[in-house]
Amino acid sequence: MKFELTSNTKDINGLKLYQIKALISFGNVKKGELGGWIEKELNLNQDGDAWVSGNARVSGNARVSGDARVYGGAWIYGDARVYGDAWVYGNAWVSGNAWIYGDARVYGDAWVYGNAVVYGDARVYGDARVYGKLKITLGYFFGMRFNKEEIKYKELENGDGLIYKGEAKFDEEDDEVAKAIQLLESKGKLKDGRILI
């Protein structure tokens, strides 16, 4: 085991969170170092160099694994997943069924939620909101324009817009995948995300 729950607790809206403590040295974490706050041991994988620090919180069925880092005042909750070399920090929130992985970074006051996926070298920051079935693989997505920086805008099918700079790659749910799911569901061959034989 690389960490344990301490007796230090914090109550947030009726949710009891425990501060974690490193039992061994790994990555940039030293043995005995106090970390951030999690609801249960399953929120942080005992393998890899993943760590939660500062005032960061992980709760619900959310999981942090691989070499991911969650710190600052970030909050990961719901069924969200943060893994790979991803970092979530600042006051960022990741929730719902959102996945953050690869070398992705989510920070500032950004929110990623719903079934959204942020991965690759994508950066989501500022007051940006990424949600629904959106997939972002590359680019800098943000909520406000600073120092007259050149920005680009893309309107999504639902009427919302993405503000970004640089080259970007993003897409909504793959139509072929959606059609395959509908077909399986209509034939009663899919239940709770599992294909039935």
The strand pairing partners of 20, in sequence order, are: 5
Alpha carbons 133 and 6: distance in angstroms, whole number: 37
- Whether the per-residue pLDDT at 143 is higher than 70: the answer is no
Contact assessment for residue 122 and residue 139, using Cβ atoms and an 8 Å cutoff? yes
- Structural domain boundaries, residue 136: 44-195
Confirm whether 113 is domain-assigned.
yes
Domain containing residue 175: CATH number? 2.160.10.10
Confirm whether 30 is domain-assigned.
no
Q: Which amino acid is residue 189, in one-letter code?
A: K
Q: Which amino acid is residue 123, in one-letter code?
A: R
As for how many domains the chain has, the answer is 1
Q: What is the pTM of this model?
A: 0.80
Confirm whether 148 is domain-assigned.
yes
20 Cα distance to chain centroid: 20
SS3 46: coil
Confirm whether 190 is domain-assigned.
yes
Instruction: Summarize pLDDT for 121-130 with one digit per residue, the tens.
Output: 889 988 888 8
Q: What are phi and psi of 98, to 5 degrees?
A: -65, 145
Q: 34-38 and 15-22: which strand pairing?
A: antiparallel
The dihedral of CA 63, 68, 71, 75: what is its sign? negative
Instruction: Summarize pLDDT for 31-84 with one digit per residue, the tens.
Output: 999 999 999 999 999 999 999 999 999 999 999 999 999 999 999 999 999 999
Confirm whether 19 is domain-assigned.
no
Q: Which two tokens stand for residue 155?
A: 């309107």
Confirm whether 3 is domain-assigned.
no
Say what percent of the chain tops pLDDT 70.
79
Confirm whether 76 is domain-assigned.
yes
Report pLDDT for 150: 65
